[in-house]
């Protein structure tokens, strides 16, 4: 095993945030599912990473007590090679994911999931700094519009473009679903 898909925070919690946008979600889901299906068809292991943090109460969608720290219902069927729960932005902090990747001989990561500029970008940078080759698939990452300090809105598509620009050739290869899965075992 040389390549692994890291599926970050593709969980029900996000539907319960005020910034959730169904139209962006639908577009992302098509690309994310295409990536899952392509990796599954080629025997690329998929590692699921979920995010949970406090406060630990039912009205916090990221608390386990909410029942929402679970995979999104519409994701393509998959049997994860491993599953980790994180409480930090990087999936490599405090989860044991790095140990799992090393033990399984993984040298290349394909990063996808939710949110583009937070957990996906942070994991990508961290993985690159630790020596993994990383493919970042912007179409298979999801984010949402964000208010800027001056009150104007930073549009989600601009956030994705910015993230791809700062990661490109420094921390990751920026690629499409097809490019990320080309050349991996069939």
**Domain assignment present for 172:** yes
**Domain assignment present for 98:** yes
pLDDT for position 61:
96
**Domain assignment present for 186:** no
* 49-68 pLDDT per residue, tens: 999 998 899 999 999 999 99
Domain that holds residue 112: 3-181
- The alpha-carbon radius of gyration of the chain (Å, integer) is 16
Q: Which DSSP letter does residue 50 get?
A: E
pLDDT for position 186:
46
pLDDT of 155 over the 50 cut: yes
**Domain assignment present for 99:** yes
Give the integer Cα–Cα distance in Å for 51 and 115: 11
Give the integer Cα–Cα distance in Å for 164 and 1: 26
**Domain assignment present for 75:** yes
**Domain assignment present for 49:** yes
| CATH classification of the domain holding 116 | 3.40.50.850
Does the pTM surpass 0.85? The reply is yes
In the chain, the number of structural domains is: 1
């Amino acid at each position: 095993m040389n390549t692994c898909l890291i599926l970050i925070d593709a969980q029900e919690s996000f539907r319960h945030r005020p910034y959730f946008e169904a139209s962006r979600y639908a577009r992302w889901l098509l690309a994310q599912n295409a990536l899952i299906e392509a990796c599954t068809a080629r025997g690329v292991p998929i590692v699921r990473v979920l995010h949970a943090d406090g406060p630990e109460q039912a009205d916090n969608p990221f608390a386990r007590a909410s029942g929402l720290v679970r995979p999104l219902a519409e994701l393509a069927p998959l049997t994860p090679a491993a599953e980790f729960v994180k409480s930090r932005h990087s999936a490599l902090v405090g989860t044991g994911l790095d140990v799992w990747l090393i033990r399984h001989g993984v040298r290349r990561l394909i990063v996808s999931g939710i949110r583009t500029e937070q957990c996906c970008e942070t994991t990508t940078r961290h993985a690159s700094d630790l020596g993994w080759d990383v493919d970042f698939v912007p179409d298979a990452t999801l984010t949402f519009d964000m208010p800027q300090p001056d009150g104007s809105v930073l549009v989600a598509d601009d956030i994705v473009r910015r993230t791809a620009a700062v990661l490109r050739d420094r921390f990751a290869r920026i690629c499409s679903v097809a490019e990320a899965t080309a050349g991996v075992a069939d």
